[in-house]
Amino acid sequence: MAFDDLSEDAMAAASGKVAAAALRAARLEATRLLLAGPGAGAGDDPADALEVLMASNPDDPRYELLCAFEKAWSLLVVRILATVGDPGPAIEDARRRGVTVPAIAKSLGVSHQAIYSRYADVVRKQR
């Protein structure tokens, strides 16, 4: 079996790992922005502040400082993550590396017409 010939379960596991990493990265970036802005008094370490936010412990004085921003922070995480849910940048990179539109379509399980329809500005060669 080729390394890229994954079963449905293996693909789901790999996708789950990537999704979890993306979620963690979005949370960490939102936390970094929070600490650089209105949450500045809650510390300098985004990873530590993220753990505080995730624990949501009302007895933690750091959480007491951060909880006022928790809803806005969580919405920022959603906005950050939504921007990486679109495979357009990866498609553009693949095209730049010489991958054909039919190969991209096959990898996504769609027709190459669907790729041209949805990602025309990405897949068409610049003139």
Q: Is there a domain that residue 2 lies in?
A: no
CB 47 within 8 A of CB 28: yes
Q: Is there a domain that residue 114 lies in?
A: yes
Radius of gyration in angstroms for the set of CA atoms belonging to the chain, rounded to a whole number? 20
Residues 63 and 119 in one domain: no
- 18: containing domain: 8-83
Residues 34 and 66 in one domain: yes
pLDDT band (50, 70, 90) for residue 46: very high
Residues 77 and 95 in one domain: no
Q: How many domains does the chain have?
A: 2
Residues 23 and 78 in one domain: yes
Length of the chain equals: 127
Residues 14 and 76 in one domain: yes
Residue 17: half-sphere exposure toward Cβ, Cα within 13 Å: 5
Q: What integer pLDDT is reported at residue 126 of this predicted model?
A: 55
Q: Which residue has the tokens 């960490």?
A: 28
Q: What integer pLDDT is reported at residue 116 of this predicted model?
A: 92
pLDDT band (50, 70, 90) for residue 127: very low
Q: Is there a domain that residue 3 lies in?
A: no
Q: What integer pLDDT is reported at residue 33 of this predicted model?
A: 98
Both structure tokens of 85: 């849910």
Q: From CA 65, how far away is CA 2, in angstroms rounded? A: 51
What DSSP state is assigned to residue 125? P
pTM, two decimal places: 0.71
Residues 62 and 114 in one domain: no
Nearest to 82 by CA among 124, 26, 17: 26
Judge whether residue 57 has pLDDT over 90.
Answer: yes
Residues 61 and 119 in one domain: no
Residues 94 and 69 in one domain: no
Q: From CA 49, how far away is CA 38, in angstroms rounded? A: 13
Judge whether residue 108 has pLDDT over 90.
Answer: no
Q: Is there a domain that residue 1 lies in?
A: no
Residues 21 and 48 in one domain: yes
pLDDT in tens, 61-101: 999 999 899 999 988 998 998 888 778 877 888 888 888 89
Mean pLDDT of 99-110: 89
